[in-house]
Structure 1
Amino acid sequence: MKAAVWHGVKDIRVEEVDLRALRDDEVKVKVAWAGICGSDLHEYQEGPVFIPVDAKADLTNEVAPITMGHEFAGVIEEVGSQVKNFKVGDRVVINPTLTYRTKHEDIDRYDGFNFIGLHGNGGFAKYANVPESNIHRLADNLTLQDGALVEPMAVAVQAVKDAGVTLGDAVAVFGAGPIGLLTVIAAKASGASKVIVLDLSDNRLEKAKELGATHIINSGKEDPVQAVRAIVADGVDVSFEVAGVAPTFKQAIDVTKARGNMMIVSIFARPIEWNPIHLTNTGVNLLSSIVYTPTMFQRTIDAMAAGQLNPQGIITSQIKLDEIVDKGFEALTNDKTQSKILVELSGEK
């Protein structure tokens, strides 16, 4: 079968691969749609960040070259002998996080922390073998395209919950890429009354406005800290760093009120220079969140099915697997009008 395989920086190849034998506790999913994630883009541009290259990953026992893709949904085509809760024909979405599953889920989500599609073969392929424990049934009123948006939406939902956003809060989001845009949606759904989005791209800022941002600021055209403070004089209750660069990291702290929360959601592929006295002098709490619990993943599906979360507006392109480099990774690198690109596999809706 064809798959998009990571071999190195700027070296993702669509090539023929063999699907390994199905294990007893797994289901074979015929992939319908898969999204290109910001973490996938990091691997393309400057990896390896997560992909194992020198030794096999702890939980997958796999090593590069790796079939990428962790935001995907599809239809079960085969089930292993020990699978109890799913059957052939079920429409499912994949929770790609792999952990040891020996602790409470709030702690367990960081215990092991391997990802299908990054630490092991994933969904940029016709088929994927996935443990039953990583499968969630898709609600009847959600399409398989919707299913491909559940994983990134869950990242934002978990980050907003962990940051403690409540009714009436003022929030600042640094970075209007896909996760930043989904953070806007999640913050609004949690009751934020002001959602201020900052980015260097006017196109992305306009998209943020479409999705619920109350204020947009181009950080290249005006001082971001002054601009936010002009809206909320004492600082926002919560800021989200979703850009992954040193300037926005520091600015996110500077726009947050004393005892407010600054939440890191982005992936920093390289170290930055920063003095922690920045926190000591401002009284800001520094938090981080990158992955969700199984409960929050399911709640994301439920909220999408109920119409409380509507992430479909972040989709900017749909492409074929053969186009994934030029119209996928290169487009996301060079075209700031792009946000979420979905890759069509079976194309089933």
Structure 2
Amino acid sequence: MKAARFHGRGDVRVDDVPEPATRAGTVKVEVEWGGICGTDLHEYLEGPIFAPTPEAPHPLTGESYPLTLGHEFAGVVAELGEGVDDLAVGDRVVVEPYLVCGRCDACTQGRYNVCATLGFVGLSGAGGGFSQYVVAERRWIHPLGELGTDVGALVEPLAVAYHAVRLSGAQPRHSALVFGAGPIGLVTTASLKAVGVEEVIVVEPAAVRKQKAGVAGADHVLDPREVDVVEAVQEITSGRGADVSFECAGIDQVLATAIRSTRAGGTCVNVAIWGHEATVQMNDLVFREVNVLGSLAYCGDHPATIALVRDGKVDPFQFITGRIGLDDIVEQGFRELIDNKEENVKVLVSPTL
């Protein structure tokens, strides 16, 4: 079968690889759609970052690059492994793309998303969604019901946002502040509105992304080049500040502004993955008792995320800005997202186009 594989920095190729075999307790999924994530782009431009190297194979898979990319994907059940009797061939499903040990302290707490040896299908081995078939343990397979698999490919990034919103403790009466209207900022905005938050403020300088923020549900969109964000948030919130804020950019100044814009006793959630050590003015936290909370991926959030989409509380189609075949993944996928990032949110890839 064909698969898009990471061979090293700037080197993603469509190769012929063996079809994975179904094992007891697993499900073989025929992939119909997979989304290109910012993590895939960072791997392409700067990697290996998450991809294990030949010198340090992943501890759970024993694999290193070259490996198949793709961790946001959905498809139909193609084959059931021994012992799996609660699904049927042809069911539409999305795969929660985790590899976890099940033994470390985090796993025994139920926080498997911060497993000590955490890995991701599509980044750490065990196949990936930019291929025709993926085999995964039954526990990671989530039925989509009547939802299409193109929508299913959006469940993973939406689950990232839903997890962050859930951890924040955001309530309908709250004001929420989102920094960045890139893919994660946009799905965070949509998730906040989906759970009923009445007032969502987005901070974004790029014109196209500001427009997308409004479509995603932002009630106010602030351009940091035109206004003092802290003062503007104070004015919008009658001098209180945002009850919850979300840093989705991984930039020191943005984090500082997010903390200063958060209400006394409020919570600032860091959703971004940082490429450098962050600088934080601790007194900004101490003097107003602001909580800073890290949020990584998702943990038990897929069923609720699917329900939000199924119930019409989130419109995932607004985030799909392109659909391509696997053979075009580099030029029309990776390069398009890198060179025209303001215009694009999510490019979907089909192994069968």
Q: Scaled by the length of structure 1, what TM-score is found?
A: 0.93
Mapping of residues 1-349 of structure 1, within 5 Å: 1-53=1-53, 54-101=55-102, 103=107, 106-111=110-115, 112-120=117-125, 121-140=127-146, 142-232=147-237, 233-294=239-300, 296-335=301-340, 336-346=342-352
Q: Distance in 2 between matches of 1:106 and 1:220?
A: 42
- Identify which range, 334-343 or 100-109, moves more after superposition: 100-109
Q: Distance in 2 between matches of 1:325 and 1:278?
A: 43
Q: Distance in 1 between matches of 2:266 and 2:57?
A: 40
Which amino acid letter does the alignment assign opposite residue 342 of structure 1?
L
- The DSSP-based 3-state class of the residue aligned with 2:196 is coil
Q: Distance in 1 between matches of 2:31 and 2:335?
A: 23
Q: Distance in 2 between matches of 1:220 and 1:9?
A: 34
Once the two structures are superposed, what CA deviation does each residue of 1:151-197 show, in whole Å capped at 9, x if it has no partner?
11111111101001001111110111111111111111222221111
Once the two structures are superposed, what CA deviation does each residue of 1:270-291 show, in whole Å capped at 9, x if it has no partner?
2233343332233210001122
Q: Distance in 2 between matches of 1:162 and 1:149?
A: 20
Q: Distance in 2 between matches of 1:183 and 1:55?
A: 34
> Using a 3 Å threshold, how does the CA distance of structure 1 residues 238 and 38 change in structure 2: closer, same or farther?
same
The Cα of 1:70 is off from its aligned counterpart by: 0.7
The Cα of 1:319 is off from its aligned counterpart by: 1.4
Contact 1:165–1:191, Cα closer than 8 Å, also in 2: no
Contact 2:100–2:118, Cα closer than 8 Å, also in 1: yes
Q: Distance in 2 between matches of 1:38 and 1:282?
A: 33
Contact 2:154–2:316, Cα closer than 8 Å, also in 1: yes
Q: Distance in 1 between matches of 2:221 and 2:268?
A: 19
Structure 2, unaligned runs of 5 or more: none
Q: Distance in 1 between matches of 2:294 and 2:352?
A: 36
Contact 2:27–2:137, Cα closer than 8 Å, also in 1: yes
The Cα of 1:269 is off from its aligned counterpart by: 2.3
- The DSSP-based 3-state class of the residue aligned with 2:221 is strand
Contact 1:160–1:183, Cα closer than 8 Å, also in 2: yes
> Using a 3 Å threshold, how does the CA distance of structure 1 residues 160 and 6 change in structure 2: closer, same or farther?
same
> Using a 3 Å threshold, how does the CA distance of structure 1 residues 223 and 303 change in structure 2: closer, same or farther?
same
Q: Scaled by the length of structure 2, what TM-score is found?
A: 0.92
Which amino acid letter does the alignment assign opposite residue 129 of structure 1?
V
Q: Distance in 1 between matches of 2:200 and 2:10?
A: 35
> Using a 3 Å threshold, how does the CA distance of structure 1 residues 144 and 270 change in structure 2: closer, same or farther?
same
Query: Between Structure 1 and Structure 2, how many residues are aligned?
Result: 345
Runs of 4 or more above 6 Å deviation: none
The Cα of 1:104 is off from its aligned counterpart by: 5.5
Which amino acid letter does the alignment assign opposite residue 303 of structure 1?
L
Q: Distance in 2 between matches of 1:63 and 1:23?
A: 22
Once the two structures are superposed, what CA deviation does each residue of 1:311-341 show, in whole Å capped at 9, x if it has no partner?
2211111111122112211221221111111
Q: Distance in 1 between matches of 2:223 and 2:46?
A: 26
**Aligned Cα root-mean-square deviation (Å):** 1.8
- The DSSP-based 3-state class of the residue aligned with 2:154 is helix
- Identify which range, 85-94 or 13-22, moves more after superposition: 13-22
- The DSSP-based 3-state class of the residue aligned with 2:89 is coil
What is the percent sequence identity of the aligned residues?
A: 42
Contact 2:325–2:352, Cα closer than 8 Å, also in 1: no
Q: Distance in 2 between matches of 1:43 and 1:219?
A: 29
Contact 2:92–2:144, Cα closer than 8 Å, also in 1: yes
Structure 1, unaligned runs of 5 or more: none
The Cα of 1:263 is off from its aligned counterpart by: 0.2
- The DSSP-based 3-state class of the residue aligned with 1:109 is helix
Once the two structures are superposed, what CA deviation does each residue of 1:124-156 show, in whole Å capped at 9, x if it has no partner?
01111222221111122x111111111111111
Q: Distance in 2 between matches of 1:175 and 1:42?
A: 17
